[in-house]
Amino acid sequence: MKHRLTEEDLEQIFIASRYKKRSSFSVFIAFVGLFILFFIVVTYLLNFSAYNQKISWWYQDEFGTTQHGLIDAVTTYHNHPASDSNSSNILPNISDNSISIESIGVKAPITFGVDNNATAVSNNLKNGPIQLTGTSLPGQTGNVFITGHSSNYPWIKSQYNSVFALLGNVVVGDLVQIKFQNVNYVYQVKKIFVVDPSDISVLNSNSSSSTLTLMTCTPVGTNLRRLIVQADQIIPDQSQNSKSNNQSSQTLPNGVH
């Protein structure tokens, strides 16, 4: 005689047996997996612009064509020397008081002479990278210190919330162009490193040389550490620079993300 499945039998097969197979360890692993997935999704949404830039840059770097306008112009400048006053006719045309980093596609205005306090820094970073008061200006000896966001809170309305999101993709030898008071300055990257937020050594300057320091926060979406890119001025010749009387700040700027 065939056995007929009762309601209890069906419950045992389809419900009870499933719960018996799920150990507390597997439940824990599932919870951890869901937590990690939730964390990744939230992090991406909070830093949507920065991560989109990274994805676009990777695709362009792998499958697109690389721009060499500034590199070609600098090569021409050195192969066929012209007076430094004519360098603006050779180098790519960018807006006055702005920065261009061709290798990572950055073009943005710079606000010069921003005081090193959290309110001034945060407010001015909405308009693009800032040059910190107490550091040199382009055309002076010493250290031109410029900082910008790698990411920022999504509710802060600004097109420059992730202006330096790709700064970590810069490599030694890359060129940075700054136009200040209608004069073009070109710097060549010499060093890239990461420091703690308390490390003020990156503000130091040398009265006999002209350097540029770019700073942003890292990892993207945090302010745990500071990514530093340092470069030497190669155009115009440093010997034409004026002396700087600026005094370096005693702290790295707050308000940067």
pLDDT value at 20 more than 90: no
Average pLDDT value for the chain: 86
Separation between Cα atoms, residue 125 and residue 22, nearest integer Å: 52
pTM: 0.82
- Range among 30-34, 84-88, 185-189, 206-210 rated most confident: 185-189
Q: What is the pLDDT of residues 160-194, one digit of tens each?
A: 999 999 999 999 999 999 999 999 999 999 999 99
Homologous superfamily in CATH for domain 68-240: Sortase (2.40.260.10)
Residue listed under structure tokens 């308000």: 255
SS3 of 257, please?
coil
Separation between Cα atoms, residue 145 and residue 135, nearest integer Å: 6
Of 2-16, 149-163, 181-195, where does mean pLDDT reach its minimum? 2-16
- pLDDT for 76: 85
Contact yes or no for 135/249 (Cβ under 8 A): yes
Q: What is the pLDDT of residues 69-120, one digit of tens each?
A: 898 888 888 887 655 555 657 889 999 999 999 999 999 999 999 999 999 9
Q: What is the pLDDT of residues 45-64, one digit of tens each?
A: 888 888 888 888 888 888 87
151-161: average pLDDT: 90
- pLDDT for 176: 98
The residue ranges of DSSP E strands in 64-149, in sequence order, are 98-101, 106-109, 111-114, 130-132, 142-147
Q: Where are the domains of the chain?
A: 7-43, 68-240
Residue among 213, 91, 76 nearest 142 (CA): 213
